[in-house]
Amino acid sequence: MRIGLPRALIFYYYYPLWKSFFENLGMDVVVSDVTSKELIEKGIKVTVPEICVPIKIFNGHVINLLSKNVDYVFIPRFVSIDRGEWFCPKFIGLPDLVKYTIEEAKERILTIDIKGKREDTCNWRNYRPLCNILHVSEKQLKKALKNASEYWHQFRQYSMEGFTIEEAMQICDNKLTRNQILSQRSSEITIGLLGYVYNIYDPFVSMDIIPKMRSMGVNIITFEMLKEEEMSRQLPRKSKNIYWTFSKKIHQSARVFMKERNVDGLIHVTAFGCGPDSIVGKMIELDSDVYQKPFMTIRVDEHTGESHLITRVEAFVDMIKRKKYSEKRGEIA
Ligand code: SF4
């Protein structure tokens, strides 16, 4: 059976888990093409205009997979992976949203509800409804989940060592070693790059921001490179919690970066039409005043031009480098 995985949204966090899980069950995993202008346009065409850009892109990826003759497109309904926290409503309604947007997808959506307190989502009860559809036993399902969970934790471990998601995947698949990756890095300044994985790791959406910043001599850190304990220490116990899981991670990591002396500045990449980011982005902006850290927001939409983004990033990086050298020379106290 051919299972399609849209290369969009939370794919950038859970792909190793899903790949391992389905392959352990003997399925062929088919991933949609890398995001392109044509793919986005197909998504925009079928999606309500007022929704956030990542959802339009997601629909483009579903359409792309349907053209690859997959039996099913896997679209889990992410509800909660931690106590008292939920996913953004668009994630909770995603399978329905696709079902009523793309007529041809209706009968080919493979969905389950992800609920519980495990970030690896691997509580077998979440996945049990797949047994009948994929014709596998509960025993096979549990074994596949166990292997997938181990593989995913290994991938997360590499991320927490400071490797980007792509690098962590390459190390997991033995395509590159840690040393090979590290030997190519050199950096003059460090920038905390904030944003959901689907905004900063989709090369079309972010316009390859990570390689571009690295070529400017910037060391990048992102939220998924931090340990959970380090992030959760950031918000005072009595402060009001952000209850969208990944928005909270972005906010907490921003606090870590603000306090960290080695981080020279922060960039927040956000998508046009994102509700949670309209709150979280403001909170980070206020924190940047308190901690006196250079901070910039880049808002991307389906029409954002590459030159516009790069000019802003270059100016920001340049400003931080000048500030750093002036500090070193004692010109700024
Ligand atoms: S968190 Fe924001 S960008 Fe992500 S799906 Fe929700 S509204 Fe869209």
All structural domains of the chain, each given as residue ranges with its CATH number in brackets, are 2-157 (3.40.50), 185-328 (3.40.50.11900)
Give residue-wise pLDDT tens across range 166-192.
Answer: 999 999 989 999 999 988 887 889 999
pLDDT greater at residue 331 or residue 284: 284
* Two tokens, residue 162: 């400071």
pLDDT, residue 93, reads 96
Cα four-point dihedral sign 53, 37, 216, 331: negative
Distance in Å, CA 331 to ligand 1 centroid: 43
pLDDT, residue 183, reads 86
* Two tokens, residue 14: 């859970």
pLDDT, residue 201, reads 94
Give residue-wise pLDDT tens across range 88-118.
Answer: 999 999 999 999 999 999 999 999 999 999 9
Q: For residue 115, what are the CA distances in angstroms to 82, 112, 250, 285, 319?
A: 8, 9, 21, 32, 44
* Nearest atom of ligand 1 to the alpha carbon of 273: 7
Q: pTM (2 decimals)?
A: 0.92
Average pLDDT over residues 155-169: 95
Mean pLDDT for the chain? 92
pLDDT, residue 321, reads 93
Give residue-wise pLDDT tens across range 18-30.
Answer: 999 999 999 999 9
pLDDT, residue 185, reads 81
Distance in Å, CA 278 to ligand 1 centroid: 10
Is the per-residue pLDDT at 80 higher than 80? Answer: yes
Instruction: Please identify which residue in the block is written with the tokens 């206020």.
Output: 286
Pocket probe mutation, ligand 1, options 12, 223, 277, max atoms within 8 Å of Cβ: 277
CA dihedral 219, 13, 201, 294 (to 10 degrees): -50
What DSSP string runs through 183-222? TT---SEEEEEES-HHHHS-TTTTTSHHHHHHHTTEEEEE
Is beta strand 77-78 parallel, antiparallel or unpaired with respect to 113-114?
A: parallel
* Nearest atom of ligand 1 to the alpha carbon of 244: 1
Angle at CA 19, nearest 5°, toward 109 and 203? 85
pLDDT, residue 304, reads 65
CB 19 within 8 A of CB 2: no
Ligand 1 pocket list (CB less than 6 A): 52, 54-55, 88, 90, 196, 271, 274-277
